[in-house]
Amino acid sequence: MELFAGVSVSDLERAVGWFDRLLGDVETFVPNDVEHVWTIAEHRYVYVLVRPEAAGHSVVTLFVDDLDGFEAAAAGRGVEPVSRETYGNGVRKLLFADPDGNEIGVGGGPG
């Protein structure tokens, strides 16, 4: 099974810069002039698509093995979460907002 999680954006160049800073050094590809794709794991991708009318309404959540390491790496690239949540079972989630206001959550196991 493969997963493509799409995020609608208004400005491709601005979105690519932000997602590059959030996701770091991962493989990317450009299938056409209105999309950009990041490979976040084998057969699993996040992509942005220029759709100004839908920009800011996407919600995507990723789950990583090392949430603290992810947060530190993103912060080192200039991207900070807008909020943090901890659920009753200890699972934690960082909420990031891209320039259009799309919600990108990154979760991890108990610290």
- Domains of the chain, each with CATH number or no CATH: 3-108 (3.10.180.10)
In the chain, the DSSP E strands lie at 3-9, 28-32, 35-41, 44-50, 59-63, 83-86, 92-97, 103-108
Confidence at 12, pLDDT banded by 50, 70, 90:
very high
DSSP 17: H
Per-residue pLDDT at 4: 95
- pTM for this predicted structure: 0.94
Percent of the chain with pLDDT over 70: 100
Task: List phi, psi (to 5°) of 71.
Answer: -60, -45
Contact 5, 105 (CB under 8 A): no
